[in-house]
Structure formats: structure tokens, C-alpha cells
Amino acid sequence: MATTSTDNLAGPSTQPAANTEKLPGIRHIIAVGSGKGGVGKSTVSVNLALALQQLGARVGIVDADILGPSVPGMLGIPTGKLPELTAENKMIPAERYGLKVVSMGMLTPDDKPAVLRGPLVGKYLKMFVDGVEWGQLDYLILDLPPGTGDTQLTLAQSMPLSGVVIVTTPQAVSLKIARRGLRMFEKVQVKILGIIENMRTFTCPHCGETTDIFRHGGGERMSQELGVPLLGALPIDPNVVACGDEGNPIVAEQPKSVSAKMYVTIAQALVEQMQTAVTVIKPFAWNWNTNEGAPAWVETAINPTGSHNTPIGFMRRDPRTLSILWEDGHRDDLDVRDLRLACHCAVCVEEMTGRKLLDPKTIRSDISPIKITSIGNYAILFDWNDGHNTGIYSFKDLRTLGERMAANGAEDV
């Protein structure tokens, strides 16, 4: 049965997540994405990382565009040289301007393509994050490839992202595609930290006249329509291109320029957004029977106006009940058999029609989880004692399930 009490309840607790790390030594992991190519996303990633560093942060950057790496060229890092390894076989990142950097472009010559299938792309991406000796970082910036494909989904499902920044240009086609990228991250509950509008206005260096080559105000409209902060707008600046081509990003090479100062302003706005991007529940692999690896239960994070799809606590109330505490203070107590019956994977539900394939009579009364694993910031995965392990339960679906069970007395899940 599900309950909807918002009373304070006894259970395990932790300190607020502001003091936790996303990965050992790394406080925040921020993805920089775009719906399409050609909007200057990598240039923004590199200069934003340097601007954060100017604010006193320790910063690393992963060139997550495995098939089309460009960060080494923008930072003047040699290519085709295998990195050194630690005694634990972790890669030692390259360093340039104080930034720690990892990229496929460092491992292969400039003219040698990385011809890889999707699973290998994901494998390299995980290696570039988990398999690197980053040391202590305040921010790890992930420069994503354009689009909404394997790389983005791999990150959302396997990395504890603090949030994502979307880069767009003012033109209508770019804004439309950027919306798709933004919606994809929203769907997997990755916080949208803000929008950066690139290539807004060109100022003639001779006469001072300004021209909106790609139109004007698109970033503001997108920000207002979607309720997402506009972190800032960057001008069209030939010096940004020249500095990047020479391996000397403008924030490092010309720190007093208009563009460099704008990057610092954007970095300051991003830091402010990070104050509201705390993820209470860290990644977990939870043994249900022994309670080993149990996630947090943080009643201090309750906010009556908070998200109703963001969990701030998971608890094994008893062997048959999973309790979930939501940010808005709502609590659901879910019977584990009802959870098994509610699985929406392709084995249990026909994908095209939504017709249930799972016969409730085949699910034994003593069905129980063996392990529960977090999936990114948006779901959990159950390994059941009947051998079933393909069902991913999004937080949104869990909240809906709890409300439905409470309303119907768990008669129909």
C-alpha cells in the first residue's frame, strides 16, 4: 500500500548534499550540450572552463565528442601521444593553462578518424571520466557532441551530472533544435543550468556599427518560454576564432577583451545556478536483503515548494516495503510485489500498444528485490529474485505509481 504522509519520519539521515562529491574528488560535473553542430559549443566549453578557473575554481574538461574531438586543438595540446598512467592504471590528464584535459584527440593523430560503434563510444566516455586521475576538482566540464544520441544518454544514465548548459545561436533553426536537446535532458531529470546564446552581435572594428547577423533576442525568448535562465549572450568576435585556432583561448590570451569578460560574467551566473543544483541522493548500488549501500534519507532537504519528482530519500521500511521521500515532503511506501507488477520494460509491456504482457499470476507472493541501483538522476533499476532485471523505473513513474496505489488501494497497478 502507498501512503501520502508528509510527517517527519524516523530513518537514516545524512548531512546535506552540498558537502558531497559527484565522484571521488569532483564536486560538480557539468555537461555543455547543443542540439546541432556549428554553434560554437566547444569554444564555449573551453573558455567557460577557463573563466571558472579565473574565479578561483579547480577545473577539468572532458572532450566527450569521441568521434569529432576539437578541444586539444583549441588548447594547443599535442595529439597522438598516449597518456602516462598511475600505478592504479588511471590516465594522467594533460594540463594547459591550469586546466586538466582528456580527449580522444590526444590519443590519435589529427588526420586519423576514430571509427567506433555506439557501445565503444560509451566505453571510452566512461573511461575518460572514471579512469582518469583528476585529483581534486570543483568542476568537471563535459563538452558533448551535438544532438541527443548515445553519448548524451550514456552520460544521463551513468554519470551523476550536476546539470547541463545548452548552447545555441539566435537563429530560429538553432533555437528549435536546442529546445529538443534541452527537453531530452529534462526527460532524464538532468537540471538545466541555463542557456548561453553564442554569436549574437557583430561589431565592426572600423566603424563601430553593430549587426545582428543571426538575428537578435532568441536566447531571451527561449529562456522565457521554457523557464530556464539565460546565463549570457556572446558576441561574434573574430579574435575568439583566431585565438582558438592558435591553441590560445581568448579568456587566457586576452583576458581584458569584451568576450573574455563576458565569459567571466557567464561563469559567475553559472556558479549562482549551482547553488540550486544540489543532488541529495548520490549514486548507489543497494543490497536489499543486507541493506548494504543504502542511499540517504535526508528530511532536512524537504521543501514544500520543491519538486515532486525528485527523491531525497530511499529506505527499506521492512522486507516488503520500499519507502521514498520526495523533495516536496511527500512520502510513498510501495509494496515490492506491486512494484514488480508495475514494470514497464519491453518484456512486461508491449512497446507499440502498451498492452500488458506480464501475467500477475506468474509473479510469486514472495517476490523481492536482490539489488536496487540508481540510474543517473532520473531512475532506479531492480534486480529481482525471479531473475528479472530489465525494468527501469523513472522517478516520475514511481511518484505516479505511489499516488495511484494510494488512491486505488493498490488494487490496480
User: Are 326 and 230 members of one domain?
Assistant: no
The upper half-sphere exposure of residue 99, i.e. CA atoms within 13 Å in the direction of its Cβ, equals 33
At 246, list the grid cell.
Answer: 592558435
CATH code for the domain in which residue 316 is found = 3.30.2020.30
Residue 335: CB partners within 8 Å, gap ≥ 6?
1, 320, 321, 405, 410
- Of the three residues 274, 297, 321, the one that is the final residue of a domain is 274
Rounded alpha-carbon distances, angstroms, from residue 380 to 62, 157, 161, 333, 368? 26, 10, 15, 16, 15
> pLDDT tens digits for 210-259?
666 556 666 777 777 778 889 998 988 889 989 999 999 999 999 999 99
User: Are 255 and 200 members of one domain?
Assistant: yes
Residue 292: CB partners within 8 Å, gap ≥ 6?
286
User: Is 88:178 a contact under the CB 8 Å cutoff?
Assistant: no
pLDDT at 4: 39
User: Are 163 and 118 members of one domain?
Assistant: yes
User: Are 93 and 225 members of one domain?
Assistant: yes
Give me the number of domains the chain comprises: 2
Tell whether 3 is covered by a domain. no
Tell whether 12 is covered by a domain. no
User: Are 309 and 265 members of one domain?
Assistant: no
User: Are 186 and 320 members of one domain?
Assistant: no
User: Are 389 and 255 members of one domain?
Assistant: no
Structural domain of residue 322, as residue ranges?
280-408
Tell whether 9 is covered by a domain. no
User: Are 227 and 263 members of one domain?
Assistant: yes
> pLDDT tens digits for 151-198?
787 777 778 888 999 998 887 667 777 788 788 888 888 888 999 988
pLDDT at 119: 66
pLDDT at 377: 81
CATH code for the domain in which residue 99 is found = 3.40.50.300
Judge residue 89's burial from the number of C-beta atoms within 10 Å of its C-beta, 0-12 exposed, 13-18 middle, 19 or more buried.
exposed
User: Are 311 and 230 members of one domain?
Assistant: no
Which is nearest to 44 in space by CA: 203, 204, 267, 242? 267
User: Are 292 and 199 members of one domain?
Assistant: no
Tell whether 15 is covered by a domain. no
- Of the three residues 274, 297, 327, the one that is the final residue of a domain is 274
pLDDT at 5: 37
Tell whether 4 is covered by a domain. no
> pLDDT tens digits for 49-100?
999 999 999 999 999 887 778 899 999 998 877 788 898 889 999 999 999 9
Tell whether 76 is covered by a domain. yes
Tell whether 109 is covered by a domain. yes
User: Are 37 and 145 members of one domain?
Assistant: yes
- Of the three residues 222, 248, 274, the one that is the final residue of a domain is 274
Tell whether 5 is covered by a domain. no
User: Are 33 and 182 members of one domain?
Assistant: yes
